[in-house]
Structure 1
Amino acid sequence: MRRSREVNERLHRAIPGGAHTYAKGDDQYPAGMAPVISHGRGAHVWDVDGNRYIEYGSGLRSVVLGHAHPRVVDAVQIQVGRGANFARPSLVEAEAAERFLETVPTAEMVKFAKNGSDATTAAVRLARAYTGRSLVAVCRDQPFFSTDDWFIATTPMRSGVPPQDTLAFPYGDLDALDTLLTENDGRVACLIMEAATALDPPPWYLHGVRALADRHGCLLVFDEMITGFRWAAAGAQGLYGVVPDLSTFGKAMGNGFAVSALAGRREIMERGGLRHEHERVFLLSTTHGAETHSLAAAMAVMDVFAEEDVIGRLHWLGDRLRAGVAEVAHQAGVGDHVVVRGRSSNLVFATLDEGGRPSQEYRTLFLRELVRGGVLGPSFVVSAALSEADIDRTIEVVAGACEVYRLALETGDPLRYTGGRPVKPVFRRFA
């Protein structure tokens, strides 16, 4: 990885953190083993040294169909040749909005943006304006909602962030949520949460959240950045049958192209429009929010989802990977330490130490062996482009990694096998 190491130094000289997303930073990979990507096709990527990898978690879960998917590329090329941005809305804006509302029929209006943070912050602003309240309640068991102050104030990386009117509630506990809303009765503008996390929600939990929001007069916002186009094209709200007041989509919706969406009830969304008598809300006025090529990419993705069983394929691939990893981990004697979790379309892995505790040292060891075997896997989130052979090869590499893992458990010294410093959590107070 000589060239990757050289380019990583260039990245750090020019870019704070050496990447434009903290989760892509080289501190998330073993020392000296953070490849810089040259290009990708399907489920494979190549680094600048010419090494080829089977990739998981593509683009932080955004590339659901695989890199350079032909239908997406064709749609983007057509629109780029017609112009990307104009002084007035383009026809593609109407077409994309209508297509989105057909795909997510629980929403009545939609407005597009470029990233998830803008969409979730717009939802918060809209909820505050609609309810006349200031407090926001976020689900504390879910890792990320926005780069903006209202959320970052809840993380350890609070430097530069003034105090915010943000509360937190645990996932799956209706009594705790009821207590929070009762103690702050009449002050909470919205609840914002992912409807599902690693596992399906407890029975009737989402219905209970919906009822509590209604009882206390606050809006319910579903962050569908991950669940949209992975749980179902219509997101978790379409799968579980619980309709939020507002929802946000992104990531897989553009298959890697920059597009996100704020959607919801007409009477709320229209507060950011021109056809109402209330005080106006400054809602998602972005220069690049409706670039034609990104909207074309989103429509191409929605077409593929309508015509092919993408969700079914994601689950088939995830099921095969989960079973294979569990089998080789058990055979190596580390089945209680290398654990695959989550919905089959959105798998993650846990690396546990001798006492069954999550361990950054053992994660480093595991990631190192994956990269050495040609698997780039910060998670085991699958794309539809993976082949059966890709899954089988991944399981072979995991089997080798589990043998090293067993040796580290036996010696009690995982750092001996990491090649350097351990990987670090994204949200930490000091670099």
Structure 2
Amino acid sequence: MATEDCVESEGLQLPRSRMANERLHALIPGGAHTYAKGDDQYPENLAPVISHGRGAHVWDIDGNRYIEYGSGLRSVSLGHAHPRVIEAVRRELDRGSNFVRPSIVEVEAAERFLATVPTAEMVKFAKNGSDATTAAVRLARAVTGRPRVAICGDHPFFSVDDWFIGTTPMSAGIPAATTELTVAFPYGDLAATEALLTRYQDEVACLILEPAGHSEPPPGYLAGLRELADRHGCVLIFDEMITGFRWSEAGAQGLYGVVPDLSTFGKALGNGFAVSALAGRREVMEPGGLRHSGDRVFLLSTTHGAETHSLAAAMAVQATYVEEGVTARLHALGERLAAGVRDAAAGMGVGDHIVVRGRASNLVFATLDENLQPSQEYRTLFLRRLLEGGVLAPSFVVSSALSDADIDRTVEVVAQACAVYRKALDAADPTPWLAGRPVKPVFRRLV
């Protein structure tokens, strides 16, 4: 059941959360500080407002407990209030968090990071992923003297800044001249990427991409990109916000053995605390510093970028990953979940319609209609049934705090949701099971 008492027969009710959502929208544009957390991403009147979390569970302000996936948009990979992380943070809070000069914690955190990600030679910390990716783009433009940015068009998000958001349907407020400097290449297609670089010969400053996504990179692909970047004189940037730690402790670059010029990390780095990192080769990073003879690059200069408690959290996270084999545990949990969901879907006759994708440590699901096309209506139906069963799952991205019992319970709830899904498919109309408007994609032009 979704509540710690009993769910009424009419389904999950969230009166306090509904009132809180109204307060949120009255004071905060979008009703949340991240669009992916907006109540438009959830079935109507079923967007819980969270009270607290511990481990792999969260409680809403109505008293309902949920097994949670995708915790903190993949940032809380060790589970909420992880004891080792919290203890490290508490130690620093009592010592002060921000000073007029660097803290010794900054060099300790840098040493720990570069020991964990040995393919990098220098690192600079910030607060969020967009800070790091935009700094990487600026640095690439500075060291190459070129204006254009080539993004992998198959990946959904790189930054809140103009160079990327201008390419999305939510481009209002961004000058066309800025957007025109960003071009796209397809993932996995070296020939198309080379054609792009040839078309814009000596104009492209960098290739930026997530090194892996919902599928493994084709054999030789990342190495081929490395060779293309070298041959065309542009900077290769790996966005490791998601792959960092979930693929290996050293990120996808550590797993696949291809070294980028620059890489960016975040999300799992702080287990929910605000910290991100830009890392890379010394000769590319140093123009953002003081020990070179060229023009200075305003790389990253953030008042709160080196708060001691967040850096302490990052060090504790990295130590935990390395010492406790967290990446392997994430993969094992994900494999158990994926197998269970696939079996449950197949058993209810919807195995072709509820599709689990991605690396085991980073699972997402697709909801397909009777014509096997992606459907927001069927996603709404599926999310509603999961929530009513006590599973909060905008994705199936696992945290290491999940237990086998949590996974087994999730699979039970999925099976129940699949039974309803089958009825909707048979009717060729999910509307009677939605109880409101369908969920909406984040990136859309109109509200």
Partner of 2:132: 119
Q: Which residue of 2 aligns with 1:7?
A: 20
* 1:360-393 deviation digits (Å, cap 9, x = unpaired): 0000000000000000000000000000000000
Q: Match of 1:282?
A: 298
Which residue of 1 is the match for residue 390 of structure 2?
Answer: 374
Aligned to 1:248: 264
Q: Map of 1:350-365 to 2, 5 A cutoff?
A: 350-365=366-381
1:268: how far off? 1.1
Instruction: Give the equivalent residue in structure 2 for 1:309.
Output: 325
- In the other structure, the counterpart of 1:77 is 90
Cα distance in 1, alignment partners of residues 318 and 338 from structure 2: 27
Once residues 81 and 238 of structure 1 are traced to their aligned partners in structure 2, the CA distance between those partners, rounded to angstroms, is 35
Match of 1:194 in 2: 210
Matched residue, 2:356: 340
What is the deviation of 1:199? 1.3
Q: Displaced runs of 4+ in structure 1, greater than 2 A? A: none
The CA deviation at 1:305 is: 1.1
Q: In percent, how many aligned pairs have the same letter?
A: 75
Q: Which residue of structure 1 lines up, in the alignment, with residue 4 of structure 2?
A: none
Instruction: Give the TM-score of the pair, scaled to structure 2.
Output: 0.96
2:312 and 2:96 map into 1 onto residues whose CA distance is 12
Distance in 2, matches of 1:68 and 1:228, equals 20
SS of 2:260's equivalent? coil
SS for the counterpart of 2:244 is coil
Which residue of the other structure, out of 261, 275, 278, is the alignment partner of 1:262? 278
Q: CA deviation at 1:306?
A: 1.6
AA aligned opposite 1:137: A
Q: Residues 325-347 of structure 1: CA distance to partner in whole angstroms, max 9, x if unpaired? A: 11111110000001100000000
Q: Pick one of 154, 159, 165 that aligns with 1:146.
A: 159
Q: Which amino acid is 1:138 matched to?
A: I
**Superposition deviation, residue 142 in structure 1:** 0.2
Cα distance between partner residues in 2 of 1:401 and 1:256:
30
2:412 and 2:435 map into 1 onto residues whose CA distance is 22
Q: Counterpart of 1:136 in 2: which secondary structure?
A: strand
Code of the residue aligned with 1:146 in structure 2: it is: S
User: Displacement, 1:227?
Assistant: 0.2
Amino acid at match of 1:32: N
Which of 40, 64, 77 lines up with 2:77 in the alignment? 64
**Counterpart Cα distance in 1 of 2:290 and 2:344:** 59
Per-residue CA deviations over 1:98-133 (Å, capped at 9, x if unaligned) read 000000000000000000000000000000000000
- Which one is further off, 13-22 or 300-309? 300-309
Cα displacement (A) at 1:309: 1.0
Q: 2:143 — aligned with what?
A: 130
Q: Quick one: which of 384, 387, 398 aligns to 2:414?
A: 398
Look up the match of 1:176.
192
Q: Which residue of 2 aligns with 1:104?
A: 117
Letter in 2 for 1:178: E
Residue aligned with 2:36, SS: helix
> Structure 1 residue 7: deviation in Å?
0.3
> Could you tell me how far apart the structure 2 residues matched to 1:429 and 1:337 are?
27
Q: What are the superposed Cα offsets for residues 10-36 of structure 1, whole Å, 9 maximum, x if unpaired? A: 000000000000000000000000000
Q: Distance in 2 between matches of 1:242 and 1:267?
A: 18
Aligned partner of 1:25 in structure 2 is 38
2:427 to 393, 411, 418: 411
Selected match of 2:107 from 94, 104, 125: 94
Per-residue displacement from partner, 1:188-229 (whole Å, max 9, x unpaired)?
Answer: 000000000111100000000010011100000000000001
Separation of aligned partners in 2, 1:409 and 1:247? 44
- SS of the equivalent of 1:248 reads strand
Per-residue deviation, 1:416: 1.1
- Give unpaired runs (5+ residues) of structure 1: none
Q: Give the letter for the 1:43 counterpart.
A: A
| Higher deviation after alignment, 409-418 or 125-134 | 409-418
| Corresponding residue pairs, total | 431
The Cα offsets for residues 252-277 of structure 1, whole Å up to 9 and x where unpaired, read as 01001000000001111110100000
Residue ranges of structure 2 left out of the alignment (5+ in a row) = 1-13
For residues 26 and 122 of structure 1, the distance between their equivalents in structure 2, rounded to whole angstroms, comes to 31
Which amino acid in structure 2 is aligned with residue 109 of structure 1?
A: M
Paired residue type of 1:362: Y
Q: Deviations over 1:274-332 (max 9, x none)?
A: 00000000011000000000000000001101211111111110011011011111110
- CA–CA separation in structure 2 for the residues paired with 1:312 and 1:212: 32
For each residue in 1:379-427, what CA deviation from the matched residue of structure 2 results, as whole angstroms up to 9, or x when unmatched?
A: 0000000000000000000000000000000011111101100000000
The one-letter code matched in structure 1 to 2:372 is G
Q: CA RMSD in A?
A: 0.4
Residues 30-41 of structure 1 mapped to structure 2, 5 A cutoff: 30-41=43-54
CA distance in 1, matches of 2:167, 2:48: 31
Task: Supply the AA of the counterpart residue of 2:71.
Answer: S
Amino acid across the alignment from 1:47:
D
Distance 1:335 1:267 in 2: 50
- Provide the rounded CA distance (Å) in 2 between the counterparts of 1:250 and 1:347: 18
Name the aligned partner's letter for residue 234 of structure 2: C
| SS of aligned partner of 1:222 | strand
Q: TM-score, normalised by structure 1?
A: 1.00
